[in-house]
Structure 1
Amino acid sequence: MKEKLFRWVVKHRKPIIAFYAVAALVCLFLRQFVGVNYDITSYLPDEAASTVALNTMGDEFEGDIPNCRVMVPNVSIAQALKYKDKIKKVDGVEEVLWLDDAADIDQPLATQDKDTVETYYKKNNALFTVTVNSEKEIEATDAIRDIVGDEGAITGSAMSNALATTSTEQQISIITVAVIAIIFVILVITTTSWAEPILVLLGLGVSVFINWGTNLIFGEISFVTNSAGSILQVAIALDFSVFLLHRFNEERGRHGSVAEDMVQSCCLSSVAVFSSGCTVCIGFIALAAMQFKIGPDLGLALAKGIAISLVSVFTFVPSMFVQFDGFVQKSQHRPFVPPLGKFARLVLKVCIPAAVVILAVVYPARVASTSSDITYYYGTSHIFGSDTRLGQDMDKVKEVFGNSDTYVVLVPRGEVSEEQALSNELKALPEVKSIQSYVDVASPYIPTGMAEKDTLDLVEGEHHSRLVLTVTAPYEGPSTFKLVKKIRCIADKHYPGKAMLAGEGVSTTDLKDTITVDKGKVDLIAVVAVFAVLLLATKSLSLPIILVLVIETSIWINFAAPLYTGMHEFFLAYLIVSSIQLGVAVDYGILIADRYREDRVTMHKREALLETMEACTIPVLTSGSVLLISGFLIHAISSHGVLKQIGWFLGVGVSISLVAVLFALPGFLYVLDGLIGKTTLKAHFLPKDAQDPVSDTTEASAADGSAQ
């Protein structure tokens, strides 16, 4: 069946190449219609408390929650009011709140409430709380920057999203070009033709273009998917092409024609490549089980990309290599990589100690990687460090005004006395510096019909009243999570089951709760699903256990490091990289295990292991080096904290996985050879007392040499 399919592909190679060329061009055009979302909190589940609160507020109030803070230094009250008026006129700015909205600035400030005054004006610095339309964040923040100048400071999620949009797209373009150049150089070194790298890159590029265009089915994708998705697809899918290419070069000249050589190469590599592709896809599809919707966004897009690459490697890539074989032959060059016999013998010497090391660290690595002492970031407040303009602005504002955020409490409208009691109790919290509500801005004794319309529109909706709280809390962290819980408890006491809370810190709290639940679920689904695929692919009870043990241990080692280095870990980076590392390491493990099982049919275990490592090391290192270099490039070039950390963990994680797969896995295969033979269906391993064809050939050659 497989031979028939691949012969059909090779026979119809010209129409297949034409189809992929047209599809790639069409999808490249369609890419421009795929939207990109940079707001992490918008990926909270619809039923999250903060999401419900935001939706309710959006239905009843014109103004959204403030998402930008603007500080202007060295200004008087009169000058600050002029700045407020200028900012208010910026296209995309919906609302600007300042001291004049919370206090009577016609009266001496010394007679006003000190906490309220210093929330907005302190040491001649004015701090404006601004609401920016989410669809105009880039234009609005650029205009505000022009108004306040370099001495001013702009912070908040609107600024963060705007900066992420502009800087990330520029940086990813640089990274993409660098990755393509690296792939080309590595392929030139590890192949024997100048043309082969070009054909491999064409195959990868076509798959990426098709994935870009077909993302239109999602409407929009997250910034993580848009920024890192293509690079990760190229680096991961490179495995498939490299595995096939190296097998094709082994089979070349053995079957009478180039076309038949390719057919047999596809048949022999299909189990390893298809199993690898399925396990990678499953690792990404597991992300779709997350409530945090950025998981399904990234998981489904990447799974689709890998599936497209998998189909391409068995249709488009073989068609190209057969069609342009003459070009490949004319561009041959001498091998740059020496024979790997010495390396294979080194592996044989150290593989058993390496396997012992894996067994020794598996438990402590697991415990350390899941330790509660690791500090996680869940939201966007730390994605730009102090070496960026946004990070420096955040430090400026914090130095003068301390930590600050805006929360909104929504309560049923009309219960004025209860609203007053709630406001009083919230004011008693040391973190709450000011409140704007109907009972605070107007008066609980003035009927709503007599209040000023601007005041009423700010705090009264059709069914709900809202209390706008200025709190001295960071956007995320243990103190924020405690404060959110405390405010929710107080609001629920006054309005049981009816009060709602929203704000950046509130959304981050919900992100934390959602992602923490998702973590265990995604890990379990991924491991169980990968184990099931390995069980079917290897037809073995022992090999899946060995592979999962080696690979999971390398993942745990990677994510145990923050416990000892003190690194703050973005939870989103953990979820993404752990899935990627699981998928790609399984690729390498399947290739080695499958080749060992194949060689073991005609060789004893020592010779089979040597032959396996000689045949598999180059394709594994080719793919792995591209992925780890890509990771470190993303880390070095990107200023976006989440992407930067994804790059770091990816580079380190792939390095650890390569060491584990190239040294420890052979140790398990060697020591557990008898168990693998007994627990693998139709293994047909060469018995101990049987003659080893490899040994016989070696001995015969040695005898001939002696006779001469």
Structure 2
Amino acid sequence: MVTNDLSDKEVVSLKDKIEKIDGVKQVFWRDDVLDITFPKEMIPETLQKQLYSKDSTLMIVTFEEDTASPKTMDAIAKIKEVSNKDCYLGGMSAIAEDTKDLANSETVKYALIAVLLSLVVLYLGLESSVAPLIFMLGMAFPIIYNFGTNIFLGKISYITQALAMILQLAVTMDYSIFLLHRYQEEKKKAENTTNDMAMVKAIQATFTSITSSSVTTIAGFLALCFMQLRLGGDIGIVMAKGVVLGVICTIFVLPSLLMIFDRQIEKYTHRTLIHELKKVPGFVVRHAKFLLLIGICIFIPMGFAQANVKQYYDLTSTLPSDLSSMKGTEELKDKFNMNTTHFILVSDTLPTKDIQELSGKIENIEGIENVLAYENFVGGGVPGTFEPEAIKDIFENGGYKLLIANSDYHAATDEENKQLDKIHEVLSQYDKKALITGEGMLSKDLITTTNEDFKVVNVLSILAIFVIILITFKSIALPFILVLAIELAITINMGIPYLTHTTLPFIAGIVIGTIQLGACVDYAILMTTRFREELSLNKSGKEAIRVAIQKTSPSIITSGCSFFAACIGVSLISRMDLISSLCELLARGAIISVISIIFILPSMLLLGHKLIEKTTKKWPITKEDQYE
């Protein structure tokens, strides 16, 4: 904590108030070493540099629990209450508390903008003026159930809390659209068909596509649980649960709502901008080979682009500069030259002489501003009864001795990572079990962890979805075709930032790839299911794919645009770059996926029809000349 323009007495008074706050373990300042009645020049020089900078002074606050625990967050909030305007909290706990407050304050805005923009898209895509409102009413049930059942998880991250409602709305809205379109189609097939019978047939017709697509989406989210980073498990469990609840409500609640308000849905209609595609199906059939060739040609360079997108691991650098914790962090950097702080733990059996040597060697490493250790300002040979207990409690605890090294370098940079490697080399000479923690080490570990997580989650999500499609369609070829069509869309989406020179948050590749694969494979399953259905009516492959594109295009386009709308609004208003970037990628990914499913997937299905016949159980058989 940095205080400006306060007298020593005022600092001591503030320190006493902070120490009484529940959750605060200890506050260390110069009066723990030497009473303020003595001039500060009598304090060891190392400690002076650490605690004083012109008219500013530094207090070290330690907490009873971990960095982001609720108790620590409450303590941070109370410290702000007892501090004046010229006092600034820095460090990971303060940043975590500010970020949590920011995310919580913006969550309602995210929900409102997502709902409003989704309503606009639904209004443009659905003939009924009432249906969009019915959809939102139907979506309220699974969203409320999902958030309510989060209580059984104990706690979830604020990022998950902020994104869950948007993602659930975006990911599960297509189930409602699929059901409504099929319900309306069934009602038009025969004049004597009752609404009850039409709904029964609609549920039967869409049940396979809804359940199979939802299972693939759930599998994609659950793959995130295998991330070492807890955020992945948070998002994975909450969203998988949300999709399950969304499917249940689509099958049991939404049909009731549609039938209750059927008269109003039919009465209040308007012209739509999203219609069945008339010319596109013929274009796709005529140019299937050309479209597939374009897809292959795009995939190769975009794959290279995706592999070379720059990522950032220091999330604090992307937060709004007006947050109090960011101001505090800047104060630490500007006045105390503390860009990052390394906390080094060594065995308490190391003698004073070794600690002093170790401190000196670390301080000589390039980029290290200073090193603070108990032995440096107390010195050897001082009787234990005369050692300040406050200092000893901070620097010696739990079988470890603490060294605090302040670095000139920023976290997650090559310079900082090399610096940490050199510190490890020095530590190994004295204590092979020594530990380093702090923002810099956390960022360095994130780089390694994220690379491993990306490989594991990517393989698991693709494998899980592959197996589910294989079981659903009883086919060997179809899983390859459907997954490749979505992977093309993902590769293009994740490759664009390389072309625009955009740096992405480190979790973007893992989260976006999994969510886009799991969510947008719904469109692929709907298209494939309709293609099989038309083939079963003894239509040729070309005619079946024409009808499949034409009949599914309104649902796919409306759903994709709704997904886009729910996410793009949040990306534009969010002050958190992490959330903004993720939502922008999801929004763009939805549109790219729609294009891939309407143009590339039908080409693959048509050209691979013979292979599909041979590798799929009970696939409708057509005459040989129908593929020529």
Q: Does the TM-score normalized on the shorter chain lie above 0.5?
A: yes
Letter in 1 for 2:7: Q
2:200 match: secondary structure: helix
1:252-401 superposed matches below 5 A: 252-253=187-188, 254=190, 256-335=193-272, 337-348=274-285, 352-371=289-308, 374-386=309-321, 394-395=329-330, 397-401=332-336
- Structure 2 partner of 1:89: 17
Cα 1:107–1:139 shift into 2, 3 Å: closer
- Structure 1 partner of 2:519: 584
1:382 match: secondary structure: helix
1:221 match: secondary structure: coil
Match of 2:131 among 184, 189, 196: 196
Match of 2:149 among 197, 201, 214: 214
Shift of 1:166: 2.1
1:257-656 superposed matches below 5 A: 257-335=194-272, 337-348=274-285, 352-371=289-308, 374-386=309-321, 394-395=329-330, 397-416=332-351, 417-497=353-433, 499-601=434-536, 602-656=538-592
Letter in 1 for 2:94: M
Kindly indicate whether the alpha-carbon contact (under 8 Å) linking 1:70 and 1:127 is maintained by their aligned counterparts in 2. Answer: yes
Shift of 1:97: 4.8
Alignment deviations for residues 99-145 of structure 1 (CA, whole Å, 9 cap, x no partner): 777899966869975x7655544455545544467525366357548
Larger deviation, residues 407-416 vs 102-111: 102-111
Distance (Å, rounded) in 1 between the aligned partners of 2:139 and 2:13 = 53
Distance (Å, rounded) in 2 between the aligned partners of 1:286 and 1:132 = 34
Shift of 1:352: 4.1
Kindly indicate whether the alpha-carbon contact (under 8 Å) linking 2:110 and 2:162 is maintained by their aligned counterparts in 1. Answer: no
Distance (Å, rounded) in 1 between the aligned partners of 2:386 and 2:626 = 101
Match of 2:2 among 44, 52, 70: 70
Task: Indicate the percent of aligned positions where both proteins have the same amino acid.
Answer: 25
Shift of 1:522: 0.5
Is residue 184 from structure 1 mapped to residue 119 from structure 2 by the alignment?
Answer: yes
Count of paired positions: 615
Alignment deviations for residues 552-585 of structure 1 (CA, whole Å, 9 cap, x no partner): 1221222223333332221123322211111122
1:175 match: secondary structure: helix
- Structure 2 partner of 1:696: none
- Structure 2 partner of 1:172: 107
Shift of 1:272: 1.2
Letter in 1 for 2:517: L
Letter in 1 for 2:128: S
Alignment TM-score, normalising by the size of structure 2: 0.89
Kindly indicate whether the alpha-carbon contact (under 8 Å) linking 1:225 and 1:298 is maintained by their aligned counterparts in 2. Answer: yes
- Structure 2 partner of 1:24: none
Kindly indicate whether the alpha-carbon contact (under 8 Å) linking 1:88 and 1:95 is maintained by their aligned counterparts in 2. Answer: no
Distance (Å, rounded) in 2 between the aligned partners of 1:336 and 1:566 = 34
Cα 1:454–1:382 shift into 2, 3 Å: same
Kindly indicate whether the alpha-carbon contact (under 8 Å) linking 1:438 and 1:444 is maintained by their aligned counterparts in 2. Answer: no
Kindly indicate whether the alpha-carbon contact (under 8 Å) linking 1:88 and 1:94 is maintained by their aligned counterparts in 2. Answer: no
Distance (Å, rounded) in 2 between the aligned partners of 1:550 and 1:377 = 29
Distance (Å, rounded) in 1 between the aligned partners of 2:388 and 2:610 = 86
- Structure 1 partner of 2:7: 79
Shift of 1:273: 1.1
- Structure 2 partner of 1:7: none
Letter in 2 for 1:301: V
Kindly indicate whether the alpha-carbon contact (under 8 Å) linking 1:358 and 1:664 is maintained by their aligned counterparts in 2. Answer: yes
Kindly indicate whether the alpha-carbon contact (under 8 Å) linking 2:567 and 2:587 is maintained by their aligned counterparts in 1. Answer: yes
Letter in 1 for 2:587: G
Kindly indicate whether the alpha-carbon contact (under 8 Å) linking 2:276 and 2:551 is maintained by their aligned counterparts in 1. Answer: no
1:310 match: secondary structure: helix
2:507 match: secondary structure: helix
Kindly indicate whether the alpha-carbon contact (under 8 Å) linking 1:382 and 1:641 is maintained by their aligned counterparts in 2. Answer: no
Letter in 2 for 1:272: S
Shift of 1:247: 1.0
Distance (Å, rounded) in 1 between the aligned partners of 2:391 and 2:29 = 14
Is residue 245 from structure 1 mapped to residue 173 from structure 2 by the alignment?
Answer: no
Alignment deviations for residues 36-55 of structure 1 (CA, whole Å, 9 cap, x no partner): xxxxxxxxxxxxxxxxxxxx
1:65-144 superposed matches below 5 A: 69-70=1-2, 72=4, 75=5, 79=7, 82-83=10-11, 85-86=13-14, 89-90=17-18, 91=21, 94-97=25-28, 113=45, 117-122=48-53, 124-131=55-62, 134=69, 135-137=71-73, 140=76, 144=80
1:252 match: secondary structure: helix
Alignment TM-score, normalising by the size of structure 1: 0.79
Alignment deviations for residues 141-161 of structure 1 (CA, whole Å, 9 cap, x no partner): 575488452x66543323322
Kindly indicate whether the alpha-carbon contact (under 8 Å) linking 2:2 and 2:88 is maintained by their aligned counterparts in 1. Answer: yes
Distance (Å, rounded) in 2 between the aligned partners of 1:357 and 1:180 = 36
Kindly indicate whether the alpha-carbon contact (under 8 Å) linking 2:122 and 2:562 is maintained by their aligned counterparts in 1. Answer: no
Distance (Å, rounded) in 2 between the aligned partners of 1:107 and 1:83 = 15
Is residue 667 from structure 1 mapped to residue 599 from structure 2 by the alignment?
Answer: no
Letter in 2 for 1:209: I
Shift of 1:587: 0.7
Q: Return 5+ residue gaps in structure 1 as ranges.
A: 1-68, 692-708
